[in-house]
Structure 1
């Protein structure tokens, strides 16, 4: 693992600590298994988000160095659980 990857993980831990303090929920971090053009794709996973989630996330993000470490645009996608019962 490179020093930049290690720093991303440390900064994500800070972000998630801030989010946990605000929401009390657990949050996760995932990464694609292989790099493309020397870069990894990272994904934060946030469950049971509140109506003011985006504001909380922006505040937590501002308290980290992630904007200095990430290349490309940061974006948000929403998914919902689907029941497989017929």
Structure 2
């Protein structure tokens, strides 16, 4: 299953958030073997950017590991509002 987590961040907090998310994702990739991506919408609205973390082909138990990593990284200090998680699974395997 693939996880897509999106949330908002104030323009002024983007550098701090990025400095926390990038090493967090690197550690998750190393420890759980997942492919991680960090994305954002190209436009900001009312001083807020929408960011998305993507975790592909996650193993069992990864969601709990991600929650722990987010807590340890202190991401809530730089996000505005809740983190929203969407889960997708493949319909057909890639060849």
Shorter-normalised TM range? 0.7 to 0.9
Match 1:68 to one of 67, 77, 82: 77
Structure 1 or 2: more strand by fraction = 2
1:54 aligns to what? 63
TM-score of the superposed pair, with normalisation by structure 2: 0.76
TM-score of the superposed pair, with normalisation by structure 1: 0.83
Q: Is the 8 A contact 1:22 1:56 kept in 2?
A: no
Q: How many residues align?
A: 82
Superposition CA RMSD, Å: 1.6
Question: Which structure's relative contact order is higher, taking Cα pairs within 8 Å and 6+ residues apart?
Answer: 2
**2:28 pairs with 1:19:** yes
**Structure 2: runs of 5+ lacking an equivalent:** 1-10
**Structure 1: runs of 5+ lacking an equivalent:** none
